[in-house]
Chain A
Amino acid sequence: MSAEGIILQVLNGLDKGSAYALIALGLTLIFGTLGVVNFAHGALFMIGAFCAVTLSRLLSLSHVVIDETKTDFLGKPLEVNVPYVFDMFGPETGQAIIDWSVPLAILFSIPVMVLVGFAMERGLIKHFYKRPHADQILVTFGLAIVMQEIIKAFFGANPIPTPAPPAFSGSFDFGALIGMENIIYPYWRLVYFSFAMIIIGAVFAFLRYTTFGMVVRAGMADRETVGILGINIDRRFTIMFAIAACVAGLAGVMYTPINPPNYHMGMDFLVLSFVVVVVGGMGSLPGAVLAGFLLGILESFASMSEVIAILPGINQIIIYLVAIIILLTRPRGLMGRAGVMED
């Protein structure tokens, strides 16, 4: 196998790995702060993706205008659908806004996700702090079913294609950049990876360099003492929940051009993300990110035809296989701390 082949597989693994890492990061944040196992986290990812769909539909809302200059084949004046954004910004800017609906959805999804996050935490999860983990898993699992059924009722069961802006559609030769040949890679995947790195960096910087983040970290280590110091740690943890929801939502928004969103995409990712969290070590943020990328890249290597020829079917099970091996050899995952979830 050539060096180009290896680089290509690593690159291929990065975009899926980014999605795993972002979801696992949010899961770990929630688990580390609130001590809640959130099975509805995949649904938050999915809601983020549907924020992008909603925005692109909103922007394309149009009204019918009769164009006198053109006629259809019967000789009548042609009816044209003109999106409202064309009226507001003119046709060129309007078209650009529609094309860039996915990146714009980032702005749209942040308030939505914060709102959903707050509602979820205050409305439901708050009441489950003291209940056993099994109850938390079950109630959030129920919530995930409800959320995905609501989305299904509004958007139907079929995947909805949501294209990337034209500037980023198509592929480029990554090899030319680093002096090698023939590493063709889609633009958007690189965008997704960079975006994920920015988000991950921002979350870590926020926790590391702000006072708020310091208090949250202190609360993760010893909630009771922080409370005794007179800090309202619950409120800060609620905000962290909203941030985690945002991270999942943004991961979903940017994922739409890679994979057209459907209502059960959240559950598909959730199962794998849980495996990622456990492999990384429950409660460890760097572990979650590391395991996310690691498993994404491993999955992409396992789906190479050379590997499948030796071990048929390995691409389907590699993640689970790795998870089993790691759990049995390193009981706390790659970077887990002692005493988490071991009661």
Chain B
Amino acid sequence: MLGLNQKDTKLLIIVTAMVVFAPFLLNPFPQGSELAQFNGGYPDLLQRFMIFGIFAIGFNILFGLTGYLSFGHAAFLGVGSYGAIWMMKLVSLNVIPAIIMGVIVAGLFAVVVGFISLRRSGIYFSILTLAFAQMSYQLAYSVLTPITGGETGLQLKATDKPIFEDLAEGEIGRANLFGIEMGESFKLALGDWVFTFNFGYYIAAVVLLISFYVSIRIFRSPFGMMLRAVKSNQQRMNYTGLNSKPYMLAAFVISGMYAGLAGGLMVAMDTQAGPERMFWTASGEVVLMTILGGVGTLIGPVLGSGVIKYMENIISKINDNILHQWFSIMPDGIEDFLVAVIHPFVGKGWHLTLGLVFMAVVIFLPGGLVEGGQRIGRLFNRKKSESPSSAKAEAAERGV
């Protein structure tokens, strides 16, 4: 289907189903119950899953296929956000032109950065991209304030008059798609459960699915094969008389455009842009996401970004009171002890948990969560049947 083989079609269908039903799947606990805070099914978080999923998919096209570790990818996301917000401020509040603008601006920036950075490889490439990203961040913060809004960033204001909109005097425009606002939600109450279906989320979801499909096509194309060849041995590629530069640049620009797309979507959802999106920690975050999920796999980056964003939102919300509630069945001494032990890992300390999980993944599961899943799957397969066909399937699986 759609030019994909059977296995990829299955993967795409599974991802589509998960994304469509995410408001259900991530809301397993009834409203008002003690576990309701573990629900990840609210629009803001769901949108983030999609946006960072796109960002990580794009990063994976560069890092997963070519092995070039860019440490400045957030710059493209930031530049894309600025492009999108200016489009909304000046031209139209419709999100489509804004997102397209974000992609174009980020793509152009990626051409410049990529052209220069790709002259070097290895850690030099990482440092060059990092240097460009930090420069953009610093400039956006200081000198470019007229364009970027400096520290406060850019928001839609009452003084903005987009050409194609007619806003009443003093009215603050809102992002929309042909009149339907991003914030519009439909709430469905089933018994104790309340499910929220948010329009903005579904827009982001459609974009994610398209991005995911494109990334599958890239992975399976001759172009993707060429990029993998660069990863395994660039020198040999050059000896065969093939110039790998244009392929690398194309991969870099595609990757940057994905980041711009994520930036544009971010603006579509919250109509603001700021320089902190370009800081190097933001670039580090997308690296974490991709590694955590599984570098070079199709589904890995989406999984990784989901896990990190979920942790960020849910673990950081747990405080001591909640912990005391959980352990209230225990005797007082043990309760206090458990709370004291867990306290550093939750709430404000969620970064500690993230760091530990991330280290564990790099040490024990270099292939990320996807490899973990495969290992578990293999464990079950082996138990079921020891026939040679399963070994073949296993080999095929590893070859992916």
Contacts and interface: CB of A to CB of B under 8 A. Distances in A.
B120 A327 contact: yes
Contacts of A267: 281
Interface string A108-128: 000000000000000010010
A138 B290 CA distance: 11
A323 B287 CA distance: 23
B128 A317 contact: no
Given A274-B127, A313-B138, A316-B142, A134 B67 contact: yes
Contact of B352 (A146, A282, A320): A146
Nearest to B284: A141
B362 interface: yes
A246 B324 CA distance: 41
Which of A134, A144, A278 lies at the interface centre, i.e. has the most chain B CB atoms within 10 A of its CB? A134
A133 B68 CA distance: 11
B131 A133 contact: no
A135 interface: yes
Contact of B358 (A142, A312, A313, A327): A142
Given A146-B355, A152-B349, A331-B124, 4 more contacts: A143-B359, A320-B131, A321-B131, A323-B131
A134 B281 CA distance: 17
Interface string B125-140: 0111011101100110
A282 B123 contact: yes
A276 to B, nearest CB: 10
A293 to B, nearest CB: 19
Contacts of B122: 133, 341-343
Which of A145, A274, A328 lies at the interface centre, i.e. has the most chain B CB atoms within 10 A of its CB? A145
Nearest to A143: B359
A145 B358 contact: yes
27 contacts: A138-B291, A139-B359, A139-B363, A142-B356, A143-B359, A144-B355, A145-B351, A145-B354, A149-B352, A149-B355, A150-B352, A152-B349, A278-B123, A282-B123, A313-B143, A317-B138, A321-B135, A323-B131, A324-B116, A324-B132, A327-B124, A328-B120, A341-B123, A341-B124, A342-B121, A342-B122, A343-B122
Contacts of A331: 120, 124
Contacts of B121: 342
B30 interface: no
Contacts of A275: 127, 130-131
Contacts of B213: none
Nearest to A154: B344
The 7 closest A-B pairs by CB, nearest first: A313-B143, A145-B355, A316-B138, A149-B352, A142-B359, A320-B131, A146-B355
B95 to A, nearest CB: 32
Given A150-B352, A327-B120, A328-B116, A320 B362 contact: no
A336 to B, nearest CB: 10
A14 interface: no
A278 B127 contact: yes
Contacts of A145: 351-352, 354-355, 358
A324 B118 CA distance: 12
Interface string A5-33: 00000000000000000000000000000
Nearest to A316: B138
Interface residues of B, number: 40
A117 B142 CA distance: 38
A271 interface: yes
A274 B143 CA distance: 25
A320 B135 contact: yes
B131 A153 contact: no
Contacts of B138: 313, 316-317, 320
Contacts of B131: 275, 320-321, 323-324
A15 B130 CA distance: 24
Given A134-B69, A317-B138, A146 B127 contact: no
B141 interface: yes
B133 to A, nearest CB: 9
A137 B63 CA distance: 14
B175 to A, nearest CB: 31
A341 B123 CA distance: 7
B59 to A, nearest CB: 13
B287 A138 contact: yes
B176 to A, nearest CB: 36
A37 interface: yes
Given A138-B362, A143-B355, A274-B127, A312 B132 contact: no
Interface in B339-373: 344, 349, 351-352, 354-356, 358-359, 362-363, 366
A316 B69 contact: no
Contact of A153 (B128, B130, B344): B344
B307 to A, nearest CB: 15
Contacts of B67: 134
B119 interface: yes
B280 interface: yes
A271 B280 contact: yes
Interface in A282-335: 282, 312-313, 316-317, 320-321, 323-324, 327-328, 331
Interface in B137-165: 138-139, 141-144
A131 to B, nearest CB: 8
